[in-house]
Amino acid sequence: MGSKHTKQLIAEVFQELVKDNTFLPDEQSERTKILQSSEEILKTTDKIIKSYIRVSTERNGIKRIPAYRIQHNNISGVYKGGIRFSEDVSEEEVENLAILMSIKNALHELPFGGAKGGVHINPKDFTDRELNLISKKYVQRFSPDLGPTHDVPAPDLGTDARIIDWMVGEYKTINPGKSYLGSFTGKSKENGGAEGRRESTGVGTFLSYYYLLDEWYPAEDNRKETGEVLTRGAQWKTLQRLYEKHKNADPIEVSVQGFGNVGGVAALEAYNQRDMKHIVTAVSDQHVMLENKHGLNIDKLIEYVKKHRELPQKEKELKDLKVEAAIHPPEDILHYETNVLIFAAIGNQITKENMKKVKADVLVEGANAPVTAEADYFLQDKGVIIIPDILANAGGVLVSYLEWKQSQITEVFTKEEILAEMAGQMKQTFKKVYDTYFTSEQNTVRFSCYMLAVQRMTLLLYRHGKLF
């Protein structure tokens, strides 16, 4: 989903908000003006900074590399968002990701606004020394616009704790005597990073679905018996069917695309569920899909990936590992028959071209934007439940918030404390979103998320006296 569609969704939210007299109850003419003003603010970006980083490379001589920091909006708090090193980085993409961060942070009621950074490189083409130089120069270029109370970056695609530690070091050199630990999140543990950061997105991604079936649905079922009508018929039936499976002790089947930080952890969460039996029947990575209708041994696959950084691709490797699985091409996972399909690889996986072949009841977006807007609407009409990225994969930014908080109070939280607080906060947001979606005419879960986020940001803009 690109920036055009993100802005379009924001515009559609405002069309709905105009009709809702209970939101900002002022004179109609005043309300219209206020909402128009908020729409203009949220559809435009506060600041786009582009710079070129000059670096002398061993293999390719001197290079000037485009780099960005884009700050979309900070009405909810300090600008926050990752820095990615990738060849796909462009101004349009970074701006879209910055807008998504504003929406995600507002939705989860974090004291953060939205920003994103990017450097247009393939990190594999550079030596460690060159990557160190690029990271330091990035901070030199953008330092006046960064800082613990202004804009706090984190790792993203192609960057990690090692790169963030280098950036923190440079930030400290440029700003002697100032507080620096809160200037970045995603640092190494030794440098003030949070425990549980690596697992957080995968844990939260699985929880976004599991909470819906295990906690929200049974509670809502009671409400339904008391006479309250839920309008989301087809999706309700999907939940009913899955819950029946659970009651009949029939395991719920899960497939996971991508077996890295997010996918591996999400698969393990499904595999380890005891209250509600799940089996992981298919997993994939860039090279292969492994399948077993009776369930894969995820513990063993995780162990293998830790060592080899990819899933086993040959019969012999599977045999040595004592894992029973059939081998398929990786793309088959998208059309595999399953109850829950978790995306944890890359964007644009379900599109107009292949949306009719999807055979899952629930799609969970652990990766950013794996389902295009067209496919989202099409599958929604078929009764598929789609849990969008801004709801499902917020575990990372929630733990970033705890890391930022621990840097301010100079206290260190344990992994258990971090993951428990993250899950508690996520569940509050899940409840709000699912309550809204299942009882309204809003057409997708994504739209319900945008609605709640835009309402929050508009209210804050209004309270800050910005809407004239």
Q: How far apart are CA 440 and CA 216, in angstroms?
A: 16
- Helix segments in 68-127, DSSP class H: 91-107
DSSP annotation of 293 reads T
Contact pattern for ligand NAD over residues 209 through 248, marking x by CB under 6 A: ----------------------------------------
Q: Of 10, 21, 38, 70, nearest to 460 (Cα)? A: 38
- The smaller minimum CB distance to ligand NAD, of residues 151 and 389, is found at 389
Under the binding rule (CB under 6 A), the answer on residue 368 touching ligand NAD is yes
Under the binding rule (CB under 6 A), the answer on residue 117 touching ligand NAD is no
Q: Is 359 a catalytic residue?
A: no
Q: Under DSSP, is residue 75 helix (H, G, I), strand (E, B) or coil? A: coil
- Region of 11-19, 213-221, 280-288, 294-302 interacting with ligand NAD (CB under 6 A): 280-288
**Burial track 2-24 (b if 16+ CB lie within 10 A, e otherwise):** bbeebbebbebbbebbeeeeebb
Q: Under DSSP, is residue 86 helix (H, G, I), strand (E, B) or coil? A: coil
- The smaller minimum CB distance to ligand NAD, of residues 55 and 267, is found at 267
- Region of 89-97, 103-111, 206-214, 360-368 interacting with ligand NAD (CB under 6 A): 360-368
Catalytic residue among 19, 43, 47, 116: 116
Using CB atoms, what's the residue nearest to ligand NAD?
260
- Region of 273-281, 291-299, 364-372, 448-456 interacting with ligand NAD (CB under 6 A): 364-372
How many amino acids of this chain bind ligand NAD (CB under 6 A)? 21
Under the binding rule (CB under 6 A), the answer on residue 204 touching ligand NAD is no
Q: Is 256 exposed, middle or buried (0-12, 13-18, 19+ CB in 10 A)?
A: buried
- The smaller minimum CB distance to ligand NAD, of residues 39 and 365, is found at 365
User: Least distance from C-beta 466 to ligand NAD, angstroms?
Assistant: 29
Residue 245's contacts (CB-CB under 8 Å, 6 or more residues apart) are 251, 252, 339
User: 76, 456 in Cβ contact below 8 A?
Assistant: yes
Residues 247-266 contacting ligand NAD, CB under 6 A: 257-263
Contact pattern for ligand NAD over residues 383 through 412, marking x by CB under 6 A: ----------x--x----------------
User: Least distance from C-beta 263 to ligand NAD, angstroms?
Assistant: 6
Residues 143-202 contacting ligand NAD, CB under 6 A: 157, 201
Q: Of 365, 322, 325, nearest to 344 (Cα)? A: 365
**Burial track 284-295 (b if 16+ CB lie within 10 A, e otherwise):** bbeebbbbbeeb
Residues that bind ligand NAD (CB under 6 A): 157, 201, 257-263, 284-286, 330, 344-346, 366-368, 393, 396
* Residues labelled catalytic: 116
